[in-house]
Homo-oligomer: A and B are copies of this chain.
Amino acid sequence: MATIQYLTTIEFGAGVSTQLPVVLAELGIRRPLWVTDRGIVDAGLLDRVSATLAEPVDRDTVFDATPPNPTEAAVHAAQQRYKAAGCDGIVALGGGSPIDLAKGVALMATHDGPLARWAGMAALGSIGPCAPIVAVPTTAGTGSEVGRGALLCLADGRKLVFVSPHLLPKRALCDPVLTVGMPAAMTAGTGMDALAHCVETYLSPRFNPPADAIALDGAARAWRWLAHAVRHPADLAARAEMMVAGLHGGLAFQKGLGAVHALSHPLGALTAPTLHHGTVNAVLLPHVLRFNAGHVGDKFARLQAAFGLDAGADLADAFTALNLRIGMPASLAAMGVPAAVRGRVVAGALADHSLPTNPRPLDAAALGHLFDSGMQ
């Protein structure tokens, strides 16, 4: 086990989730709201993690109805539970969805007005202290456990970012043991989320050398270990490497993402089909890399070197091959995305906060082209 401090204090290691009672006591949280989802509860993870507490969890303090892409309605429902149960903090247990939802609850438990009022980079400075969050990730990919942002789907259909240093979890308990039971498709999809975070933040043109170093290292780990973790789900070393890759993506978020995320955010806001964020990123990544080629200085070469690829290899093709190897769908169409959403997705991407840090500037035509490529 190890303690790592950058913005969030991270406790990392097999079995580290048993430290939860100590961490809650240190933060002065006596009655946390558990924000999680049905899959996590059904997998026995709520029971397992909460078994370390002195008393059984009061079911009034459990919100397990987190949707795959967390919504404003879910924020309000969970916040009602937080208030009714007299909670004084949050344990976010799960993947990126429960952790992001927990951030929405932490915000609305301490701030008035409609959720939309606090959306976007413009609201960053006006968000004050929020309810404290302890994040216990059960996937390896989101990075939300060390990120200061949350993506939430508003009632009006927009998927918007909420950003504040006050939304950073006070602690992240990163226990790779909790990810051992993850099904192959979830391992692959969340792992590709980690890889997409590392690659997009690395390619972001903003100057941030520590974030570049962390992102490049995270990308190399995910590249080396993801297929292995998918094939050997009980290999704890591979699970730990993937959990580090997820963390590194989150630590590098401050550099900004790119076109993959600009497109996957509005796609994630669709109510039908319900799309898995990391899997959408996996499908889009080769197309976006192809689009960005020639606009990234020597960064493709450095990624290729970090991945152990030949200098002459095509990076986008290598990502397509990885997707195939780990069972990712071949296209957005194969995931059930209808062509009719094209206009809505392009409009959402144009307004997305991740667009300005894509290395090659994009307009509506370019985004439409990327959507079309992703559909095929």
Contact = CB atoms under 8 A, between A and B. Distances in A.
30 contacts: A2-B206, A2-B207, A2-B208, A4-B208, A4-B209, A4-B210, A5-B7, A6-B6, A6-B7, A6-B210, A7-B7, A12-B207, A13-B207, A209-B217, A209-B221, A209-B244, A209-B247, A209-B248, A210-B214, A210-B217, A210-B247, A210-B248, A212-B217, A213-B213, A213-B214, A213-B216, A213-B217, A213-B218, A213-B248, A216-B217
Interface in A195-216: 206-214, 216
A110 interface: no
Contacts of A217: 209-210, 212-213, 216
Interface string A1-15: 010111100001100
Nearest to A251: B210
Nearest to A207: B2
Interface in A114-163: none
A341 to B, nearest CB: 36
Interface string A250-294: 010010000000000000000000000000000000000000000
A246 B19 CA distance: 35
Contacts of A206: 2
Interface residues of A, number: 25
Nearest to A217: B213
Contacts of A248: 209-210, 213
Copies assembled:
2
Interface string A233-254: 0000000000010011001001
A7 B5 CA distance: 8
B7 A211 contact: no
Nearest to A13: B207
Interface in A1-47: 2, 4-7, 12-13
B211 A4 contact: yes
Contacts of A213: 213-214, 216-218, 248
Nearest to A216: B213
Contacts of A6: 6-7, 210
- The 3 lowest CB-CB distance pairs between A and B, nearest first, are A213-B217, A2-B207, A6-B6
A305 to B, nearest CB: 9
A12 to B, nearest CB: 7
A221 B13 CA distance: 30
Contacts of A251: 210
Contact of A4 (B2, B5, B13, B254): B254
A13 B206 CA distance: 12
A11 to B, nearest CB: 11
A13 to B, nearest CB: 7
A350 to B, nearest CB: 25
